[in-house]
Chain A
Amino acid sequence: MEIVNLAVLPEVTSAGVAIKAIIILAIISAVAGFGTFIERKVLAFMQRRLGPMHVGPYGLLQIAADGIKLFTKEDIVPQNANKLIFKIAPSITAATAFIALAAVPVFPDFTIPEWIPLLGGVFVPSIAADVNVGILFILGMMAAGLYGPLLAGMAQANKWGIIGSARTAVQFLSYEVVTGLSMLAPIMLVGSLSLVDFNNYQDGGFTSWMIWQQPVAFVLFLIAGFAETNRTPFDLLEHEAEIISGFATEYSGMRWGMFFIGEYANMITISVILAVVFMGGYNDLGFMAGWFIVVFKIAFFFFLMLWVRASWPHIRPDQLMWLSWKILMPVAVVNIVITGIVMMI
């Protein structure tokens, strides 16, 4: 069956992969910038404020103003900091976020129409790098991304930074187990680690979505995903009210901006994983085309993160550890055992 499919599909050329990589980089960094604007507007709406209004219509040009500010701001490196590590840290966050996106299928395969000059007829695959172990690769890369905050906090010779990086380690060691274990039950059902197989497993319409078979895994992964992207309620690393700005205290200008591009790219990655693994992926739904509906699913999860930020307070680090190790991990293990028993029967 698979061999037949492979024969029908056009060959994946390096030009196609390069185009896909450029699409990912361009769209995601643009969306990440736009995401900051959306976040401020949504939070303002939920808190009965107006949000940014002065630059451009409805404050739309605020992104451009912020960009100019970030790029032209003086780049300060503290005197006693470990300068090399201090400069490397932001690029770790941004780079790993985009490397993780390389293995994410966002849109279905498509071929560029023949009438477009130069690139006509090039086949663009749905994934830039179709590794067989896609889901593990993405989670591993996002985990490696936490080295950015960790190194930033330790390199800057600032007490708030040290506390921020200690919290990074705490947060990583808490949620990482839950992410892996909650994802294990869907992996057992599908029998593959490839995100394309996850998508094809759910091609039977609305009722075949993974969320109906694995509601517990969905909730667990959603909670772990919030911790993975450092979103409120688990916004421990740079908890403004307690530790100034945590790992980002000494950063300014574009180095600071790279942390946030990485964070928003990670939010999009988690939204895509939730959409592809649990919510039917980019399969057609009724009369709506797959690429169209998947954008809505991703946007919904992105909105959910902002919604939660507006509704929930921060929690303390010890509460996060308690939640992860004493509640979420046992529930995830029980979920795996029950899934295994049901599959064997």
Chain B
Amino acid sequence: MTVHVDFEPVGRRGQCPTGSTLLNCARELGVDLVNLCGGGGTCGRCVVQIMEGEVSTPTSSEGKFLSSEQLAAGYRLACQTVPLGNCKVRVPPESLTTPQRTQVEGEELPVAVEPPVQTYLVTLDPPSLDDLRADAGRLLEALAQQYGVMVSILDLAVLRELPLRLRGEGWQVRVAVRDEEVVALLPSAVRPLGLAVDLGTTKIAAYLVDLETGRTLAVKGVMNPQIAYGEDVIARLAFAGESPAQAARLQELVVETLNQTAIEMCAEARVAPAHIVEAVVVGNTAMHHLFVGLPVDQLAKAPYVPAVASALDVKARDLGLHFAPGATVHLLPNIAGYVGADHVAMLLATGVTQAEGLVLAIDIGTNTEVCLVNHGTLTSLSCASGPAFEGAHIKHGMRAANGAIERLRLVDDRVEYQTIGGAPPVGLCGSGILDTLAQLYQAGIVDSRGRMGEHPRVRDVQGVREFVLVAEDEWGDGRPAITFTQKDVRELQLAKGAMRTGINVLLEVNGVTSDEINQVIIAGAFGTYIDVASAVAIGMLPRLPLDRFRQVGNAAGMGAKLALISKTKRREAQAIASRVRYIELATAPQFATTFAQAMYLG
């Protein structure tokens, strides 16, 4: 049984199974509705308006996010609403995901190119009645004779194409060798390619690399398509845990996206995905497990144990990736359930593990990983900073897209701001949210306990205080006001408190104080765009001279690239992972008191 659902104004319509929620219908029909909670009815973002047709009655979750006037006007949460027959649904623009600004750039470290896959141009004698050696033996003997390379194994997929390729290429091929195995046969004029991928919870950054020179040929940032099934790691693990089919769906989504991204990057660089002989993928432990197809149940529940922590080599084809037939995907080691290969890659790329003195390295995201390098010893932990800085749970929060306020200052009683793309303001993205809180705190409008006081721009809306950043009538085009509420301050206190608790616990267990820190390295997309002074002002980061902070961009992606082109760096990653001492933050001594104090501003 199906019902016909029509999404307007996007113009997507089609048959959907009876009993599916509008959110699922939207997914089915390729309409990208914002949903941060994965359809749990807790984020209130997937608002749609029912124009025609009967639907299920509102749930109590909807009552929390929608007023009775809105409900009367047909506004509903798509994840809570089931069509009872054919219906027509309007999707307001704010409920659609917008093209995102994805961060792919990062500082590159110079490194000697020493890829795990070497290629050799081999010329063979064609067989004759006097020389009846098999194709495979002929190839391996030629490799040994011409290059002194002793290889014993041919990947089965390579073996299957060997006879045709040798004859097709006139007995001259470029043989790609990894350890003691032939993993690909390339046309003689082709250079071997590598792909480095930072598989983030929200974003995927991919780098197409010439494996011989180490040069990056193309770079691309895309959204992680798994987002349709939950914004954070926990929501996604929960979805995967419900059935093997759902876990497989998440795996396929990422693989499809990587295949597509590889095709697009190769087209841009005028090369072919079939010439990718090696890939390195880094991600947090959850992304890692979902990508490889490992069970995640044990990861989601205390004591949060990964299925595997050491580095992995997997055949790309086994994951569904369409690269060279025998290509390998290398996954850097994980450290613990909530500190994964992306953290290792970040440490590798920033070079902090060799740093002198006391260095703090922070990768800010929904989960923030922090490492303290104390004269060569490494201690890491993960703190659940939450998606507040991605705009979630903030009344007028949004992701970094056009119209998002990314910088904000209070000048006297005026609000001055800058939006992404210079577009009229729509909401606040992470850096704008951070600036707003810092400005309100520094102006004394919000006190150190996070309480919003009196001010001409502060008003009460149904018992909730809010500071008006952009007033209703300001643009004269019916644009709604943009405000910053007391509740927003509380959300940020939790996020900022979690992050600062992580830092303080690391300092505490190392017996050092924050003013001894020589350098703070801030990695990650959000970290790239923030005004460090604002982060210091609210006490998210320790109060240190601003020249001790370094914003390095996507260090995890850079680390993946290093591990792609350098065997030495790959070994170093393994060494780093085993050197890191992991701390489970929630069980740290004095955690509650530290967290309580870290929630104060300033």
User: Is the A/B pair a real complex?
Assistant: no
- Residues on A lying within 8 angstroms of B by beta carbon are none
